[in-house]
Structure 1
Amino acid sequence: MEIRVAALHVAPERKAPMVAVDHVEARAGQGIVGDRYFGTRHRHVSVQSLEELDEAAVAWGAPIPAGRARRTVTLDHGRVPTTPGARLLIGDVELEVVRKAAPCRVMETAVGPGAARAMHDRGGAICRVLTSGTISVRDPVELDAAAGALAAR
């Protein structure tokens, strides 16, 4: 089953609410234009999966909306690779995993007490942008099969 982008969210500054968008511009070596992490050294894009969000919701006992998890890209299913060096191809944009994403502390106020803890080991990955391009909702996604992720396309 093909993996696709289910949602995209950006926040213009730290702790600002995430805003749902239909597409984002990714710039190699810089990140997502208009996002709080644009221009940072490595934390360009965060990627999560609805499947892992659903698991966190079961652990927490209530739904966790994709935008409230504080991630930029949400995949419609599958497991996001978290091994440093793993690659993701989203549309024509290539990303490289830098590290596993830790749950955001802002979730404790944006979602509720205990939500960040429920996201432990389900928070996806932090990636750097290797190639520039546009990422849009419904874009196909290829995950690095060598990193133990599901491959699609």
Structure 2
Amino acid sequence: MAVPEILELLVSPIHRYEGRPADGPSPAPPGELVDKVVVRAGLGLVGDRYFGRAAHRDAAVTLIAAESLPAGVGLVQSRRNILVRGLDVDSLVGQVLTLDSGCGPVSFAVRRRANPCAWMDVVIGPGAFRALRGKGGIRCAPLTDGELHIGPVEVTTAEPET
């Protein structure tokens, strides 16, 4: 199996998929795709639209596997925060996921699936909403502070402590 890697990172201060999908998304702000992200335990990614929001504390960070997306589709369309290759993220619900891209380990409690929505048919293409069911990524709560960078990443998983 290939060495897992982080392919893209997205930190966006705005929600682009609001309203009806037929109306189309809001324009992307400049600088959404970044080379590194700063993670804060219990809060999320610094600068992201879900950072520190009470309603999203258990799901502030989202990951999706590149293998789940059509070629050429990434985080700008899927609106997840971390795009990885070589890691079956959808199988990790209920576990603790630790990623280390060279700046030390950053751990996440994988809370639940990140289910796709009708917007996927608009921004990726017809049938994407249905095709991404069960492989739309995961929603996580950050357990530790740290940084993640694009590139190879060491991955460990564990059962949560009780």
TM norm structure 2: 0.75
Secondary structure in 2 matching 1:144 = strand
Secondary structure in 2 matching 1:37 = coil
State the match for 1:7 in structure 2: 8
For residues 114 and 11 of structure 1, the distance between their equivalents in structure 2, rounded to whole angstroms, comes to: 26
User: CA 1:102–1:51 in structure 2 vs 1: closer, same or farther (change >3 Å)?
Assistant: same
- Mapped contact 2:3–2:152 kept (Cα < 8 A): no
For residues 120 and 83 of structure 1, the distance between their equivalents in structure 2, rounded to whole angstroms, comes to: 16
Give ranges in structure 2 of 5+ residues lacking alignment: 17-25
Letter paired with 1:46 = T
**Superposition deviation, residue 145 in structure 1:** 6.3
State the match for 1:151 in structure 2: none
**Superposition deviation, residue 107 in structure 1:** 2.4
State the match for 2:97 in structure 1: 88
- Mapped contact 2:94–2:159 kept (Cα < 8 A): no
Aligned identity (percent) is 33
Following TM superposition, the consecutive aligned residue runs of length 4 or more in structure 1 with deviations greater than 6 angstroms are none
Letter paired with 1:51 = E
For residues 125 and 82 of structure 1, the distance between their equivalents in structure 2, rounded to whole angstroms, comes to: 9
- Mapped contact 2:97–2:158 kept (Cα < 8 A): no
Give ranges in structure 1 of 5+ residues lacking alignment: 58-62, 148-153
State the match for 2:58 in structure 1: 42
- Mapped contact 1:81–1:144 kept (Cα < 8 A): no
Counterparts of 1:3-152 in structure 2 under 5 Å? 3-15=4-16, 17=28, 19-39=32-52, 40-53=56-69, 57=70, 63=71, 65-67=73-75, 68-91=77-100, 92-144=105-157
For residues 44 and 27 of structure 1, the distance between their equivalents in structure 2, rounded to whole angstroms, comes to: 10
Write out per-residue CA displacement over residues 14-66 of structure 1, whole angstroms, 9 at most, x where no aligned residue: 1253821100111000000111111132121111111222xxx3xxxxx3511
For residues 64 and 100 of structure 1, the distance between their equivalents in structure 2, rounded to whole angstroms, comes to: 23
Greater Cα offset, 26-35 or 8-17: 8-17
Q: Which has the larger radius of gyration?
A: 2
Query: How many residues matched?
Result: 139
Secondary structure in 2 matching 1:109 = helix
For residues 112 and 137 of structure 1, the distance between their equivalents in structure 2, rounded to whole angstroms, comes to: 27
- Mapped contact 2:62–2:140 kept (Cα < 8 A): yes
